[in-house]
Amino acid sequence: MTSSPLSRRQLVGLVVLTLMWGVNWPIMKLSLRELGPLHFRAVTMALGALGLFLFFRWQGLRTLPRGGAEWRQVVWLGLPNMLGWHALSIYGLAHLPAGRAAVLGFTMPVWTVALGVLFYGERLTGRLLLAAVAVLAGITLLLWNELAQLAGQPAGIAWMQGAALAWAIGTLWMRRALLTLPAETLVVWMMALSAIVMSVLALALEPAPRWRFSAPMWLSLVWAVLINYGASQVIWFRLARALPPSTSAMSVMAVPLIGTLSAPLIVGEWPQWQDLAAMACVVVAIGAVLLPRR
C-alpha cells in the first residue's frame, strides 16, 4: 500500500514546522544569556500549556483527564517525554553551541531503536548497526573537539545525550501505552505538570530573575510561548496522523541541519568542521532507522 502524496497545505505546514523546530535551538540559546535554564523552561512551558489548553477547549476537545488512571498516564509519560527531555536539553544547550546541542538531541530516534532491541525484543538489523556506528562517530567528533578546547564543556554532551535517552524512553512508553485521553490533552497536562516541577527546581537552584530584559530577549520568550509551545504543537497535531513515515523522518533529519545553519545568524555561533561532520553522521543514523525499506 503506497501513501498518498502530500497536499500543498500539508507540505507548507511540514516546511514551516521543520523551520520552527530548527530555528528554535539558537533562539533558546539567545534566551539563556539573560535567564536561567529552569526559569526559562518553567515560564515558557507554563504559558504555552495555558495557551494550548484554551485553544483546544475552544475547538471543543476534551481538555481534562478523567479518573486516576488517566492522571497516572499523564504523570508517567510526562516524566521522560516532557520533564526529562526539556530539563536535560536546556542544561545541555546552556553548555554547548546551539547547532551542536540540536545535533546531539536528535540522536533520539537511534536510541529509541537501540533500547527497543535491548529491552523490548525488537530485531537487531544491519541498519541499526550502521546507525549505532554513525552516532558514536558523531559523538566522538564533538567530544574530541570539546576536550581539545580549554573552554570546552564536555558535560554539555552528557546532558544532551541524557535528554535524548529520556525522549527515547518516553517514545517507547508512549507506543505501548493504552491511552484513553486525546493526545492534545495528554501533551497539555504533561507540559503543565512539568512546568510546576521546573518552577520548584528553579526557585531552589537558580537566582530569582529581575525581569529587566533586552528587546531580543523578550522576543525570544514570546517565540518560545507562541511558536515552540504553541503554533508548532498545533501544526504537528494536524500533520501527525497524515504524514507517511518517510516524510516524518526527513523532517526530523532537517531539524539539526536548520539549527546549525541558523545559529550564526541568531547567536553568532559558526559551526566548525567537527559540527558539520557530526551532523552528517547523525543524519545517516536517523535515515538508517527511520526511512522505510523499498
More confident site: 132 or 31: 31
**Is residue 243 predicted with pLDDT exceeding 90?**
no
Residue type, 52: L
Q: Which of 218-232, 238-252, 257-271 has the lowest mean pLDDT?
A: 238-252
> What's the confidence (pLDDT) of residue 264?
94
DSSP assignment string, 40-87:
HHHHHHHHHHHHHHHHHHHTT---S--HHHHHHHHHHHHIIIIIIHHH
- The residues spanned by each domain of the chain are 8-290
Tell me the pTM: 0.88
Q: pLDDT digit string (tens) for 224-235?
A: 999 999 999 888
pLDDT digits (tens, 9 = 90+) for 151-177: 446 788 899 999 999 999 998 998 888
Nearest to 253 by CA among 293, 285, 294: 285
Q: Which three cell numbers stand for residue 182?
A: 486525546
User: How far apart, in whole angstroms, are the C-alpha atoms of residue 241 and residue 183?
Assistant: 11
Does residue 4 surpass a pLDDT of 60?
no
